[in-house]
Amino acid sequence: MLNVLVSGGSRGIGRALVELLAEQGYRVHFLYRCRDDAAAEVVETVRGRGGDARAHRCDVTDAGAVDAFLAGVAGEEIYALVNNAATLRDGHFLLMDSDRWNVVVDTVLTAAYRLTKGCLRSMLHAGRGRVVNVGSLSGQVGQAGQANYAAAKGGLHAFTKALAREVGRYGVTVNAVVPGWIETDLVATLSEDHRARAIASVPLGRFGKPHEVARVVSFLLSDAASYITGATVRVDGGVGS
Ligand code: NDP
């Protein structure tokens, strides 16, 4: 059974991904920050369907916690890593204090550095592996009020391309998936007005569902994607086209 690690697997896109990958026969380890009830519900759902999902409470901004998690799975080959965890602290740049900046950069970018470093050795040793980074349009074209998030996601996109060039010859692929507006807690806070304007901007005329992103990540982990690396795949209903 191949092991996959998903950061931020207790809700939203990560949850859909954990459920899909477990259904496809992977053993899925996932990390979450604090919502024990949500994580337990994911594990229960997966087990109820005969799958294997293992929840680990691990704040990816905490280097010690990440190291402890990685030590715990050190004996297992991690076939694939999906860097999905993220958080938002939007605001005008001049009012953005260093806490707001750091928590977003740490959750999105530095955590990807730590987790990838922790998993890559076993991938290189095995001569195979997949890394998928969940990016954002904000990291490609920018978004007012999201200087922290855009910078972190933009860094994640550049990290994807650089690492793909570095590890491709060892059988490891590294790709990015860029969701558009997806119905998760992350967008649930939008006002009705903002929501209506957002939907109007999407060529497909609706927000996406978490499983529509999960299916693309799962494709990138599959044999069908064996010759794809350094790619950025948009799953955005056409909004970024
Ligand atoms: P959600 O807010 O719904 O879920 C976030 C997940 O990440 C939760 O499982 C949460 O755990 C976990 N998480 C957050 N911070 C940490 C941390 N410090 N340590 C460990 N786990 C953490 O997010 P989405 O599903 O909406 O987003 C998933 C990805 O997709 C993100 O990378 C996001 O940037 C990207 N994206 C999403 C879009 C959208 O429209 N939804 C649009 C563009 C990109 P817990 O439950 O414990 O808080």
Region label for 12, one of left (φ > 0), alpha (ψ between -120 and 50) or beta (otherwise): left
pLDDT number for residue 215: 98
Low-confidence ranges of the chain (pLDDT < 50): none
- Domains (range + CATH), the chain: 3-235 (3.40.50.720)
- Alpha-carbon distance of 86 to 100, in angstroms, equals 13
Of 129, 238, 117, nearest to 178 by C-alpha is 238
Residues designated as active site: 149
Q: What's the pLDDT score for residue 162?
A: 98
Cα–Cα distance, 130 to 133 (Å, whole number): 10
Reported as a single tens digit per residue, the pLDDT across 21-64 is 999 999 999 999 999 999 999 999 999 999 999 999 999 999 99
Chain mean position to CA 32: 12
pLDDT at site 84: 98
Identity of the residue numbered 116: T
Residue nearest to ligand 1 atom 39, measured at CA: 182
Q: Which atom of ligand 1 is nearest to the CA of 179?
A: 43
Distance CA 180, CA 210 (A): 11
SS3 for the chain, per residue? CCEEEEECCCCHHHHHHHHHHHHCCCEEEEEECCCHHHHHHHHHHHHHCCCEEEEEECCCCCHHHHHHHHHHCCCCCEEEEEECCCCCCCCCHHHCCHHHHHHHHHHHHHHHHHHHHHHHHHHHHHCCEEEEEECCCHHHHCCCCCHHHHHHHHHHHHHHHHHHHHHHHHCEEEEEEEECCECCHHHHCCCHHHHHHHHHCCCCCCCECHHHHHHHHHHHHCHHHCCCCCCEEEECCCCCC
Query: Which residues lie with the beta carbon below 6 Å from any ligand 1 atom?
Result: 7-14, 31-35, 38, 59-61, 84-87, 107, 134, 136, 179, 181-182, 184-187
pLDDT of the residue at 52: 98
Distance 134 CA to ligand 1 centre (A): 10
Q: What are 79's two structure tokens?
A: 């076939």
